[in-house]
A and B are shown apart, each in its own frame.
Chain A
Amino acid sequence: MSDIKLAFIVQQPQYKGETSRLAITHAIAYQTVEILLEDDETVTPKLCFVGEGVLGITKDQPAMEIYGITSTESHMKNSLLVDLEVLVCKEDLDKYGIPESDLPDAEDMGADVTIQVVPFAEIQKAMDEAKHVLMF
């Protein structure tokens, strides 16, 4: 069994550019990489939001109505739907005054996991454990 651990670190706010959204969709692609790998090969990502990356990931986003594109919230929900481990830095949420209750969940879509608000030390641990760290 050859599993590669990856840490996707999102430092840029959503909607400022597309990079931060691309972090989410690339991480979600761990669900489909199997078609290009051998049967016993897997990729296990952790999607982590730090610094300004915690901006723009709250719920009730009307991006489709205003911009005509899928919202970051919908991408976050899809992450949870595919059991992606999503970590959000507690210290940075507190710094920006964003309550944990403002973060989306995907229970209504049948997701079994939720966003984990964790101390930065946990995100540091994810980076230490990863074979490759991808900064977005």
Chain B
Amino acid sequence: MGELSDKTPDKELDVLGRVCPYPLVLTKKSVEKMDSGQMIKVLCDAPASAEDSIPKWAEKSGHKFESVKKGDSWELFIEKG
């Protein structure tokens, strides 16, 4: 467990079963509506999104990011910068 995954998220977004471009697009839209410092937990099972697109976007946008693998899916924690 980590710094973000230990906290209770302010928002949860379920994109299980959704594939590109939706996991990142919907995550972006959700984070846009959040205040700085708030955290969202994203449930995702698309590898290209969970392991590449979303973490890359989070880093580029200055958000904190953490990923926890759960079987075939991921819990992604993003704290808005």
Q: Could you give, for residues 1-33 of chain A, a 1 whenever the CB lies within 8 Å of some chain B CB and a 0 otherwise? A: 000000000000000000000000100110110
Is A88 among interface residues, defined by CB-CB distance under 8 A? no
Q: Could you give, for residues 29-60 of chain B, a 1 whenever the CB lies within 8 Å of some chain A CB and a 0 otherwise? A: 10000000000000000000000010011001
Would you call B24 and A32 a contact (CB within 8 A)? yes
Across the interface, which residues of B come within 8 angstroms of A42, CB to CB?
none
Would you call the interface of chain B mostly helix, strand, loop, or mixed?
helix
Would you call A78 and B57 a contact (CB within 8 A)? no
Distance (Å) between the CB of B10 and the closest chain A CB? 18
Across the interface, which residues of A come within 8 angstroms of B29, CB to CB?
81-82
Would you call A35 and B57 a contact (CB within 8 A)? yes
Number of interface residues of B (CB under 8 A): 11
Would you call A31 and B28 a contact (CB within 8 A)? yes
Would you call B53 and A35 a contact (CB within 8 A)? yes
Distance (Å) between the CB of A113 and the closest chain B CB? 14
Task: Count A-B contacts at CB 8 Å.
Answer: 32
Would you call B25 and A82 a contact (CB within 8 A)? yes
Across the interface, which residues of B come within 8 angstroms of A29, CB to CB?
20-21, 25
C-alpha gap A29/B25 in the complex (Å): 8
C-alpha gap A34/B60 in the complex (Å): 9
Residue of B nearest to A28 (CB): B21
Across the interface, which residues of B come within 8 angstroms of A82, CB to CB?
25, 29
Across the interface, which residues of B come within 8 angstroms of A31, CB to CB?
21, 24-25, 28
Across the interface, which residues of A come within 8 angstroms of B24, CB to CB?
31-32, 35
Would you call B56 and A35 a contact (CB within 8 A)? yes
Would you call B22 and A78 a contact (CB within 8 A)? yes
For the complex of A and B, list the 3 residue pairs with the smallest distance between their C-beta atoms, beginning with the closest: A29-B21, A35-B56, A32-B24
* Interface set of B (CB-CB < 8 Å, partner A): 20-22, 24-25, 28-29, 53, 56-57, 60
Known interface pairs A29-B25, A31-B28; 12 further A-B residue pairs with C-beta atoms within 8 A, sorted by A's residue number = A25-B20, A28-B25, A31-B24, A31-B25, A32-B24, A32-B25, A32-B53, A35-B24, A35-B57, A35-B60, A78-B25, A81-B29
